[in-house]
Amino acid sequence: MTSEDFIDFKSMAGKVKNLAVDDDGEKIPWSKVRHVRACAQDPEALEIKTIYEGSTQRLNLNRRKRASGDIPDGRHMKLIVGQAKPGISETKKKDLISLCDSGQIPAMYKPFYTSLPLACAEDQPDDEED
């Protein structure tokens, strides 16, 4: 997977209103949910199971209620494209590479660690302790 494969669900989360009742009008017991499935063929719905071998409940995320506002359309989900890939600090990268060089991390992982991007200075948390 790459960073282009991720979708910005946070922008949609505030608009989704129906998370309590399935298509049959039954309440979804979220504390007992064992399996949640989202299909590419039907991006506006989730299939939910409370028992592994049991039947699924279908939850339509676009189910309209009275006087509901704008409901997101799953076909127009905003992709997180063009955003900078997350990075690590220069110090962490040097430490990881030195662990590869010393043999504490297997050498086969060194190309991965050397390819990690560095984070911008404003993205870094302050390391100063009071």
- pLDDT tens track, the chain, 130 positions: 676 666 666 776 677 767 778 888 888 888 888 998 888 888 778 888 988 888 888 888 776 655 545 544 555 555 555 566 678 899 999 999 999 999 999 999 999 999 888 887 655 555 544 4
Alpha-carbon span 17 to 9, nearest angstrom: 14
- Give the Cα separation of 24 and 21 in Å (integer): 8
Total-model pTM: 0.41
- CB 57 within 8 Å of CB 26: yes
Residue type, 112: F
d(CA 20, CA 36) in angstroms, rounded, equals 14
Q: What is the pLDDT of residue 79?
A: 54
Q: Is 38 left (phi over 0), alpha (psi -120 to 50) or beta?
A: beta
